Amino acid sequence: QPSGNQAPDVGAGQKRAAVCFACHNADGISKIPGTPHLAGQERSYLENALRAYRDGQTRQNPTMNPMAKPLSDRDIVNIAAYYSSLARSGQGQK
Residue 9 vs 35, nearer CB to a copy of itself: 35
Do residues 93 and 27 lie in contact, with contact meaning Cβ atoms separated by under 8 Å? no
Q: Considering the rule CB under 8 A, would residue 51 count as an interface residue with a copy of itself?
A: no
Instruction: Identify which of 84, 13, 71 has the alpha carbon closest to the alpha carbon of residue 44.
Output: 84
Instruction: Identify which of 5, 9, 1 has the alpha carbon closest to the alpha carbon of residue 75.
Output: 9
Q: Considering the rule CB under 8 A, would residue 55 count as an interface residue with a copy of itself?
A: no
Which region, judged by CB under 8 A, interacts with a copy of itself, from 7-15, 72-80, 85-93? 85-93
Q: Considering the rule CB under 8 A, would residue 61 count as an interface residue with a copy of itself?
A: yes
Do residues 83 and 14 lie in contact, with contact meaning Cβ atoms separated by under 8 Å? no
By CB under 8 A, how many residues form the interface with a copy of itself? 23
Q: In the set 9, 12, 26, 30, which binds a copy of itself (CB under 8 A)?
A: 30
| DSSP secondary structure letters along 7-40 | PP-HHHHHHHGGGGHHHH-TTS---STTPPP-TT
Residue ranges binding a copy of itself (CB under 8 A): 1, 30, 33-37, 39-45, 48, 57-61, 88-90
